[in-house]
Every structure is written in C-alpha cells, then in structure tokens.
Amino acid sequence: LPSANPIRRVNQEITAYAGQKQQEIDELRRMEVFRREFIADVSHELKTPIFSAQGFILTLIDGAVDDENVRDLFLGKAARSLKALAALVEDLLTLSQIESGDITMRLEKYDMQEQVLEVFEQLENKAERRGVALKLVSQYEEGIYVYADYNRIRQVLINLIINAIKYGKENGAVTVTLTQTTKNLKVSIKDDGNGIEAEHLTRIFERFYRIEKSRSKQEGGTGLGLAIVKHIIEKHDSKISVKSKIGEGTQFTFKLQRTEVIEEV
Ligand code: ADP
C-alpha cells in the first residue's frame, strides 16, 4: 500500500505519545492530591480521639483523680476515646489492605440466612438500646447458599445493619430481605429512618464522608464503614446500590453469586 505522507504520520505519533505522557502526568498529579488529602483526613480523624483521651488523663493527673466520682467518669471517657481510636485504626488497616489489592476474597459456599441470623444475634444489644427490631424476610425454609468470603461479607452486613440501627428510627425496624434470582442472591438492608438527600447519596461511599458531622460523630462511627463495604462488594465482582426516601428510610442492596444447596457428605 502506498504509505500516507510519512512526515505527517510521524508527527501524529509524536502528538499521541506526548498526549499519553500528559495523561500519565495528570494521573500522577491526581494521585498525589488524593494521597495528600487522605493523609490530612486521617491525621484530622486521629487527632480527635487522641486529644480527647489526653485531655481527660491530664485533668486526672492535675488533681481530678482525688474525687472518686470525677475519676471514674473521666477514666470512662478516656477509655471510650481510645476505643474509638482503636476502631478507626482497625478500619484504616482494613481499607488500605483492600485498596492495595493485597488481599483476595476467600470464596466459600455458605448459608446466607444463617449468617444474617448470626449477625442479628451479635447486634442484638445495640438494636435493643434503640428499641429497634431486627427482621429477616426470606421466602425460603431451607438454607440459601452463596459463594462468597464469609468474614468479609459478615463485615459488610455488620456495617450496614449498624448504620441502619444508628440512623434508623428509634423503636423502628431494620429489615434484611433475601431474594433469589437464577444466578444470584439479592441482599437488601432497609431502615425506616430520615433518609438521605440526593446530593449526599452519591457521596456516602467516600471515605470520611458524613452527612451530619455532629450527629454521625455522636453515633460513634469512623466514617469508613461504607467505603469498606463498597470495596468488599466490588471485590466480589458485584456492586452495591442505595435508594432513599426522605422521611421514609434507606435501602442498600447488593448481589452475591448463588450456589445450589450443597448436600452433606
Ligand atoms: P459512619 O461511621 O459515620 O457511620 P459510614 O461510612 O458508615 O460512616 O457512613 C457514612 C455516612 O452516611 C454516615 O455518617 C451517615 O451520615 C450516612 N449514612 C449511612 N448509612 C445511613 C442510613 N442507613 N441512613 C441515613 N444515613 C446513613
């Protein structure tokens, strides 16, 4: 074939190459900004519980320790701050582990219905304190088997159900619904809280994103729960979606690969 004007072709290639380099540079810049923002966010989040615990302990050292009531109160508060700090570090480690791609999901077959009930049992006290009823809706008598990472999905359920309890209505209900499709099991977690406005809905999966800072803080979260949930579901080659109606409540839904009922050997 007669070649096109060779000089022009070379020029085009050079332009394409330069364009590619620019793309790489832009990407590196974006990552650098992201990294800097992340470090700033983490430092800020760490500072709060550290300074709080420090404050109580220093006040105790300054003499508050002599009053038995004040001593117990401040020790309790310092302990709570350190517990929040531990939760934050734990969530950060989980998130960085998942994001770095170091971990793979350990897929196994297990009964989802049983897992939901186990998580309910674990969160019973939390739910009771807010008068929230935990309900499982599934039309199946027997087990519903999925192919998923048991521990990671337990984490997903815990994070979503704790949120539903925290941000749901007092004396309300949290409902987990399991629906089978041909290949998948659809899991949805629904609360009857105030709901989430559209402008926030797309952002709640971002790390440290909170809607009402004061209220969310007071509820004792790390702001990382949903970021972790999203990553874990994506690692299962799936997606998580959220629907919300102001004044009515919020529903999170994800799918997992379903397996046929396994026969006991
Ligand atoms: P947090 O530790 O603050 O709960 P998450 O990542 O779990 O962090 O959630 C991010 C934010 O999304 C929360 O601070 C809260 O404002 C909002 N949110 C999460 N779940 C719900 C829900 N079920 N109803 C209303 N708001 C919610």
Question: What pLDDT sits at residue 264?
Answer: 46
Question: What pLDDT sits at residue 20?
Answer: 76
Burial string for 40-54 (b: 16+ CB within 10 Å, else e) reads eebeebeeebeebbe
Strands 133-138 and 173-180, by their bridges, are: parallel
Our answer on whether the CB atom of 211 is closer than 6 Å to any ligand 1 atom is: yes
Q: What is the CA radius of gyration of the chain?
A: 24
Q: Are 77 and 52 in contact (CB under 8 A)?
A: yes
Our answer on whether the CB atom of 210 is closer than 6 Å to any ligand 1 atom is: yes
Our answer on whether the CB atom of 242 is closer than 6 Å to any ligand 1 atom is: no
pLDDT in tens, 41-86: 899 899 999 999 999 999 999 998 899 999 999 999 999 999 999 9
Mean pLDDT is lowest, of 80-84, 97-101, 155-159, 179-183, for 97-101
Question: What pLDDT sits at residue 263?
Answer: 46
Question: What pLDDT sits at residue 214?
Answer: 56
pLDDT in tens, 121-162: 999 999 999 999 999 999 777 889 999 999 999 999 999 999
- Answer whether residue 17 shows pLDDT above 80: no
Region 163-187: mean pLDDT is 95
3-state SS, one letter per residue, for the chain: CCCCCHHHHHHHHHHHHHHHHHHHHHHHHHHHHHHHHHHHHHHHHHHHHHHHHHHHHHHHHCCHHHCHHHHHHHHHHHHHHHHHHHHHHHHHHHHHHHHCCCCCCCEEEEEHHHHHHHHHHHHHHHHHHCCCEEEEEECCCCCCEEEEEHHHHHHHHHHHHHHHHHHCCCCCEEEEEEEECCCEEEEEEECCCCCCCHHHHCCCCCCCCCCCHHHHHHCCCCCCHHHHHHHHHHHCCCCEEEEEECCCEEEEEEEEEECCCCCCC
pLDDT in tens, 103-123: 889 999 999 999 999 999 999
111 strand-pairing partners: 145
Our answer on whether the CB atom of 189 is closer than 6 Å to any ligand 1 atom is: no
pLDDT in tens, 215-263: 665 667 888 999 999 999 999 999 999 999 999 999 999 999 988 644 4
Between 170 and 214, the more confident residue is 170
Question: What pLDDT sits at residue 11?
Answer: 63
- For ligand 1, atom 11: residue with the closest CA: 210
Question: What pLDDT sits at residue 10?
Answer: 62
Question: What pLDDT sits at residue 243?
Answer: 97
Question: What pLDDT sits at residue 101?
Answer: 77
Mean pLDDT is lowest, of 31-35, 146-150, 192-196, 209-213, for 209-213
Question: What pLDDT sits at residue 74?
Answer: 95
Top mutation candidate among 83, 226, 228, 241 for ligand 1, by most atoms within 8 Å of CB: 226
Our answer on whether the CB atom of 165 is closer than 6 Å to any ligand 1 atom is: no
Our answer on whether the CB atom of 250 is closer than 6 Å to any ligand 1 atom is: yes
